[in-house]
Structure 1
Amino acid sequence: MLRSVIFSAVIAFVFFIAEYFYGNQFVHPLWKVMLLFYVSLSFLMHRLVDLGNQGKPERFIGFYMTFIIVRLILSVGFVGFFLYRGLDDRKIFILDFLVLYIFYTSFEMYGLNRNLRRDL
């Protein structure tokens, strides 16, 4: 969990710097809400992985696949909610959201591969 917090802090720092230098040209004003959404998903993932590792290790794959599906559905719902409400700069919002989605997915896959290599 500490790695996720550090990763989120680095991402927040990058967005702060980008917002400071480029303003709303590349960074949507709701980037903090998007980052909070991904921090929440990251916390949920850690809880599900811990729950999946308790008892039978075979349950881990099912828990992780369930989390991937839940993350995808929640992400589509999150974007849909804000688009339905009506946003300024929709393209920047979706681009920032996809960048965060790719970064967090890559980070989780890196962490998972790192842990699996250790367990082999």
Structure 2
Amino acid sequence: MRPLKIFAAFALFVTLLAAIPAMLNYTGHGNLLLAKFWVLFVFITGFTFIVIASVLVVQHINPALYAQAFLATTIVKMLGCMAFALLFVLKLHIDNGVFLLNFSYLYFLNTGFEVYVLLRNLRNQNRK
């Protein structure tokens, strides 16, 4: 996939990812979201953007290191998100069930998008 196409897909993904919580707020089910949900959303989505951008840069510089760069940046993202979640839980007094639901929703869907981009790029590399 071309970088422009990937970033367009990422923008669409972020829009769809944000639509469900926005609809929950709009329909009066805001109790299913954390008070600081959008902080969590921006942090995890921003981390995903950094991962995708850095992997694309590595792919442009040295395509042979694409998979290794993906794994390294994903591990950094995982550790960063765990540290952020720990600070989030320790500093704010929140409902643990709601936090787990919100964090899982954001983290796993963003990670799924990263894997989707990885698989699309690896498939395109094999066709060349």
Fold-level similarity (TM above 0.5)? yes
1:7 aligns with 2:13: yes
For 2:79, give the aligned amino acid.
I
Unaligned runs of 5+ in 1: none
1:113 aligns with 2:119: yes
Identity of aligned residues (%): 24
Matches within 5 A, 1:70-81: 70-81=76-87
Deviates more, 1:52-61 or 1:7-16: 52-61
Shift of the alpha carbon at 1:42?
Answer: 2.0
Matches within 5 A, 1:23-62: 23-24=30-31, 26-62=32-68
Instruction: Name the count of aligned residue pairs.
Output: 119
Decide which structure has greater helix share: 2
- How high is the TM-score relative to the length of structure 1? 0.89
- State the partner residue of 2:101: 95
Cα distance between partner residues in 1 of 2:30 and 2:61: 49
Cα distance per residue 1:32-61 (max 9 Å; x no partner): 111101221122112211221133212112
Are the counterparts in 1 of residues 45 and 110 from structure 2 also a CA contact under 8 Å? no
Unaligned runs of 5+ in 2: 1-6
Q: Which aligned segments of 4 or more residues in structure 1 are displaced greater than 2 angstroms? A: none
* 1:12–1:79 CA distance, 2 compared to 1 (3 A): same
- How high is the TM-score relative to the length of structure 2? 0.84
Shift of the alpha carbon at 1:113?
Answer: 1.2
Structure number with the bigger relative contact order (C-alpha 8 A, sep ≥ 6) is 2
